[in-house]
Amino acid sequence: MSAVSYADVGGVNVSTWHYIDGARVPSPDSFPVLSPIDQREIAQVASGTAAEVSLAVSAAEAAFDDWAALGARGRAEYLYRLADLIDANVESLAIVECEDAGMMLRPLRAYVAAFGAVNFRAFADMALAQTETGWSYNGSKVRVQRMPAGPVGIITSWNAPIVISTWKLAPALAAGCTVVLKPSEWAPLTCSMIADLAGEAGIPAGVLNVVQGLGREVGEALAADERLTRLSFTGSSRTGRAVGQTAANNMVPCTIEAGGKSPLVVFADADLDAAAKTAAFQYDDAGQMCIAGSRLLVEESVAAEFLTLLGKHTDAHVVGNPRDPETTVPPLIHPDHLARVSGFVERAVAQGDTLLRGGRSLGGLLYEPTLIKPRSNDAEIVQEEVFGPVLTIQTFSDEDEAVRLANSTRYGLAGMVFTRSADRAERVGRAIRSGIVWVNAFNLRDASAPFGGRGMSGVGREGGQYALDFYSDLKALYIKEDTTYED
């Protein structure tokens, strides 16, 4: 690979080598990173192999005992410093995430990039607040202890790299684990910046390692490394399955966060304008959100009115360059992904679904906000995750049918319900089978709450104590209270 170990991305220098044992490490080969904005090559990034993965896992293994021994208080000092450094570098992180992942610069600057800091502070605080429980049992004291699990592997996706990587890194590090992170090859650059900030925060060498490269090479080697004690994955259901199988082979607990096909259910008694506004918001980030409510389910009696309101809010979207503050629908991540998204729409039309709006590429990787009325609930466009600015709309006649449709896919990450009835909110909120339900809201995220899905949406829960427990081994320690031992 080239001797140049950094790329100039929008005026920000980003290291393109791996970060292993506190140092930058090259590989013989590299892969190109294209900006979704104009498909220009913005970096050549070190393309790792099993050799670099092995080096990184060795470093994480060697660093583990000292990091674990620091305790929650000692680790929190480092994590707070890292959070402060992320805050101090929000502008650079925002610029690079915009160029690299095509995410909108305005929200990145305003709050999205800062989520990295929010995550490190929140999980450091939660780890500090943990207390050991204990009680007397049969002449002994039993105590439940949390032991950091060991070195862990984290594999992340291209959408929202800062938010998703720190959402996993923060609880792992706060719990006392050391980490090898493999970012997505389609948007690997801000994870590299976070590694540098971790170094600047003084986090000891080997505690946080980043190996860049392709899924088939680095992802597979990382998942298969038997020295890892946990695997945490965000990406497609298909890869999630493969990672889960490898984890099962090694008897390693894993969390898999694999997107969804979440319902957004609108009852006739809802604030229809608010519901339509939230429905149109699902086109934000070009629909590349795992929690997107991409299936609109609307009570028949208000469907016409809802469609008009949805049209009004969709008209307000600006499809364009994510650097432009007015843009709300940025480009899709990659030409392959554009082909995938438009393929879904073309097949839907060919199979007899009705295109109500959009359905065209707008040049580059831009794609129109698209609305489809499927011919049946079995249609591919209803059942499969598109991960683009494509929504379907279906109607229902009563609450039972709404719940049946809401629960009719293999996924189960999120659900949204719009109603003014508190009783219905309770009933339908409970009946929707998914990891999260928002009533009259969308994307409220408390770091203390569980996050994750069922079925093809994944395995396990992230967030709060659930994440800290995942990265810990629970131990029941019995110590006899009476010290006079019999023999």
Residues found in the chain: 487
Binding to ligand TXE by residue 27, rule CB under 6 A?
no
Binding ligand TXE by CB under 6 A: which of 48, 102, 219, 415?
219
Binding to ligand TXE by residue 284, rule CB under 6 A?
no
The stretch among 3-11, 54-62, 216-224, 471-479 that binds ligand TXE (CB under 6 A) is: 216-224
Binding to ligand TXE by residue 215, rule CB under 6 A?
yes
Binding ligand TXE by CB under 6 A: which of 184, 232, 262, 395?
184
Q: From CA 219, how far away is CA 236, in angstroms rounded? A: 13
The stretch among 34-42, 217-225, 271-279, 430-438 that binds ligand TXE (CB under 6 A) is: 217-225
Tokens 């032991």 sit at which residue?
Answer: 147
Residues in 224-263 that interact with ligand TXE by CB under 6 A:
234-236, 239, 242-243, 257-259
Give residue 14's Cα distance to chain centre.
Answer: 22
Binding ligand TXE by CB under 6 A: which of 299, 385, 418, 470?
385
Residue 84 Cβ, how far from ligand TXE at the closest point, in Å?
28
For 228-290, the DSSP string reads -SEEEEES-HHHHHHHHHHHHHTT--EEEE-----EEEE-TTS-HHHHHHHHHHTTGGGG--T
Question: Contacts with ligand TXE: how many residues (CB under 6 A)?
Answer: 27
Binding to ligand TXE by residue 159, rule CB under 6 A?
yes
Tokens 């081994």 sit at which residue?
Answer: 473
Q: From CA 151, how far away is CA 64, in angstroms rounded? A: 7
3-class SS string, 9-78: ECCEEEECCEEECCEEECCCCEEEEECCCCCCEEEEEECCCHHHHHHHHHHHHHHHHHHHHCHHHHHHHH
Short-list 380, 379, 361, CA closest to 369: 361
Residue 423 Cβ, how far from ligand TXE at the closest point, in Å?
33
Nearest residue (CB) to ligand TXE, 141 versus 238: 238
H or E element, residue 467: helix 464-470
Binding ligand TXE by CB under 6 A: which of 18, 146, 182, 373?
182
Binding mask 79-118 for ligand TXE (x = CB under 6 A): ----------------------------------------
Residues in 306-365 that interact with ligand TXE by CB under 6 A:
337, 340
Binding ligand TXE by CB under 6 A: which of 283, 387, 396, 470?
387
Nearest residue (CB) to ligand TXE, 14 versus 160: 160
Can you name the residues that pair with 44 across neighbouring β-strands?
A: 32
Residue 124, CA distances (Å) to 73, 152, 174, 222, 373 in order: 8, 18, 5, 26, 46
Nearest residue (CB) to ligand TXE, 155 versus 296: 155
Output phi, psi for 388, to 5 deg: -150, -175
Residues in 32-61 that interact with ligand TXE by CB under 6 A:
none
Binding ligand TXE by CB under 6 A: which of 100, 220, 353, 368?
220
Nearest residue (CB) to ligand TXE, 97 versus 185: 185
Nearest residue (CB) to ligand TXE, 42 versus 187: 187
3-class SS string, 381-413: HHHCCCCCCEEEEEEECCHHHHHHHHCCCCCCC
Tokens 């050991």 sit at which residue?
Answer: 132
Which of 52, 99, 220, 257 is labelled catalytic? 257
The stretch among 51-59, 155-163, 274-282, 370-378 that binds ligand TXE (CB under 6 A) is: 155-163
Give residue 347's Cα distance to chain centre.
Answer: 28
Binding ligand TXE by CB under 6 A: which of 17, 78, 158, 451?
158
Residue 107 buriedness (CB in 10 A; 0-12 / 13-18 / 19+): middle
The stretch among 50-58, 138-146, 153-161, 343-351 that binds ligand TXE (CB under 6 A) is: 153-161
399-406 and 422-431 helices, crossing angle to 10°: 30
Is residue 290 among the annotated active site residues?
Answer: yes
CA dihedral (317, 322, 323, 327) in degrees, to 10, reads 0
Residue 237 Cβ, how far from ligand TXE at the closest point, in Å?
7
Binding ligand TXE by CB under 6 A: which of 61, 185, 285, 368?
185
Label the pairing between strands 12-15 and 6-9.
antiparallel
Binding to ligand TXE by residue 285, rule CB under 6 A?
no
Is residue 98 among the annotated active site residues?
Answer: no
Which of 220, 290, 385, 462 is labelled catalytic? 290
Query: Active-site residue numbers?
Result: 257, 290
Which residues bind to ligand TXE, rule: CB under 6 A?
A: 155-159, 182, 184-185, 215-216, 219-220, 223, 234-236, 239, 242-243, 257-259, 290, 337, 340, 385, 387
